[in-house]
Structure 1
Amino acid sequence: MTRFSANISMMFTERPLRERFAAAGAAGFPGVEIQFPYELAADDMARLARLAGVEIASFNTPIGNRAAGEVGIASLPRREADFRQHVVLARDYATAVRCRNVNVLVGVCLDGGNKDRCINVLYDNLYYAASELQAAGIRLTIEPMNTTDRPGYLINTLDEASAVIDRIGHPNLKIEADLYHMAMMEEDIPASLRRNLHNIGHVQFADWPGRHEPGTGALDLPAIVALLEAGGYGSWFSAEYVPSETTERTLSWYEPWRSAAT
């Protein structure tokens, strides 16, 4: 059974964060994801999800110091101890809210452009994080991001993410594949998904151009869902888009799957 979740950091923002769990549940989503949940106490978030009847599908480790240009610290030399603290925080948070997927933002290399050094730091940090989360029954993912929205980001395509995963060789490390970022990088989405399916652990989507809801651009979501399901993908499909109007008025794309689940 295909399961869809809604990213409540980007959707249902007409409401305060605490009310978005119930809004997503009322719209028929069995799950929600949230980019950075740490403003809520873990037990409070678990209670909100339980009352709304939704699972927590995924969230990110802390982003770091945005003002200093950090977009995750997993690749930053001299920040290894901070990264480990972030992993432990995310592990404990995920355990409390019963989330089984945590995503690490690999970040931008800020070490004077020494990309090789940043990559080596990333390898060590991801192996540590994958092991730490595996012991708690939580999967670790990394997300490639496009170079237009995230200039300097270290991993930009699914092939690059797969190369990192294959190099590290940890069974608990997978890809968070975002169809919007793939489109922005002009990847051949069906071919890239097929080629990297064995490494994909979580899927996000938004239409393109514009990053709005499916139906506003070129995304053929039913075809992508069918392709992944035929290949054996069995995890979440997470809507992560900027609604072009109020969220509830952008959900016509979801009706076939919502109807099939009821």
Structure 2
Amino acid sequence: MLKFAANLSFLYNDADFLDRFSAASRDEFHAVEYLFPYPWDARDIAARLNDNGLEQVLFNAPAGDWDQGDRGIACIPGRELEFRAGFNKALEYAQALDCRRVHVMAGICPPGIDAAQMRATYEANVAWAAELAAPIGREVLIEPINHRDMPGYFLNTQTQAHDIVQTVGAMNLKVQMDLYHCQITEGDLSTAISRWIATGRVGHFQIASVPSRNEPTTGEINDNYIFDLIASESQQHGWEGWIGCEYRPKLGAEAGATSRGLTWLRTLRSHSTYPVI
């Protein structure tokens, strides 16, 4: 089975955020994800989830001052207390929204700081977060991001991320495998998917076309082949996670742009040999 979640930070952006939940439900999504819930009261978000029969599957922990260029702070020495306060807030939202997974962004490498020091800081922070999250059944995810979209980001490759997960050794620390970033940075998606699903360390997938980050099947990736591969590998290895649709609709913020662009998903649902939700 393949399970797709609508990313409400990217999709349905012709509507206010809280109205995007019903839009996703109308398009037969059963789950949602997004970047940050913190501008909204968790009770209001929970009501939208409940009213529309949606599962919350992922969001990000606070990532520092986004408007000032922060893209996470977990790798940055000297900001550990800020990281811990933010992650505690994320767990409060995860509990209120019954969300199993929280993504911790690593951050942009500050100039003048040794890479080994940043890695040590990052590992200590995610180890602390995983230990705090484990008793309440939450997973901590880390995600490699390409340097074209986010220059200077600390975590770039699947090998680097999986090595950190192995070093930390927490069962609830997983890798968020975004195939858009993976294709830009590394390529060879088929080999990567088969290799990493088999480890049991992949907690979540995300998708978008390359290079434009629009709907799947509109770029250089053979998405239908990739979907078949994920379904096959998932069945073989017992992977039951979600695939986040983190792409920008080709029609932008036009009214109904997201729904009109979901031809790829409607076709997959109607023609697939395996269940798709």
Instruction: Give TM-score, length-normalised by structure 2.
Output: 0.91
Q: Is 2:218 aligned against 1:216?
A: yes
Between Structure 1 and Structure 2, how many residues are aligned?
Answer: 262
**How far did 1:155 drift?**
1.1
| Distance (whole Å) between structure 2 residues aligned to residue 157 and residue 222 of structure 1 | 23
Q: Map residues 32-43 of structure 1 onto 2, 5 A cutoff.
A: 32-43=32-43
| Distance (whole Å) between structure 2 residues aligned to residue 182 and residue 261 of structure 1 | 23
Q: Map residues 140-155 of structure 1 onto 2, 5 A cutoff.
A: 140-155=140-155
Provide runs of 4+ in structure 1 moved above 6 Å. none
Q: Is 2:74 aligned against 1:74?
A: yes
1:135–1:253 distance in 2 versus 1, CA, 3 Å: same
Letter in 1 for 2:266: E
Q: Is 2:241 aligned against 1:235?
A: yes
Deviation per CA, 1:113-172: give whole Å up to 9, x if none.
422111100010010111111111111110100011111111111111111111111111
Range with greater deviation from structure 2 (251-260 or 146-155): 251-260
Q: 2:266 aligns with which of 251, 255, 260?
A: 255
Q: Map residues 74-223 of structure 1 onto 2, 5 A cutoff.
A: 74-110=74-110, 112-197=112-197, 198=199, 199-223=201-225
**How far did 1:261 drift?**
5.6
1:163–1:244 distance in 2 versus 1, CA, 3 Å: same
Deviation per CA, 1:79-125: give whole Å up to 9, x if none.
11111111111111001001111101011121524221111000100
Instruction: Give TM-score, length-normalised by structure 1.
Output: 0.96
Please, what is the CA RMSD of the aligned residues?
1.4
| Distance (whole Å) between structure 2 residues aligned to residue 53 and residue 68 of structure 1 | 36
Q: Map residues 34-73 of structure 1 onto 2, 5 A cutoff.
A: 34-73=34-73
> Is the Cα contact below 8 Å between 1:157 and 1:187 reproduced in 2?
no
Secondary structure of 1:18's counterpart equals: helix
- Structure 2 unmatched ranges of 5 or more: 252-256
> Is the Cα contact below 8 Å between 2:63 and 2:105 reproduced in 1?
yes
**How far did 1:67 drift?**
4.3
Q: Is 2:12 aligned against 1:9?
A: no
| Distance (whole Å) between structure 1 residues aligned to residue 25 and residue 245 of structure 2 | 14
Secondary structure of 1:116's counterpart equals: helix
Letter in 1 for 2:205: V
| Distance (whole Å) between structure 1 residues aligned to residue 111 and residue 77 of structure 2 | 7
- Structure 1 unmatched ranges of 5 or more: none
Secondary structure of 2:129's counterpart equals: helix
**How far did 1:9 drift?**
0.3
| Distance (whole Å) between structure 1 residues aligned to residue 176 and residue 226 of structure 2 | 15
| Distance (whole Å) between structure 2 residues aligned to residue 151 and residue 67 of structure 1 | 16
| Distance (whole Å) between structure 2 residues aligned to residue 261 and residue 71 of structure 1 | 33
Letter in 2 for 1:55: E
> Is the Cα contact below 8 Å between 2:143 and 2:177 reproduced in 1?
yes
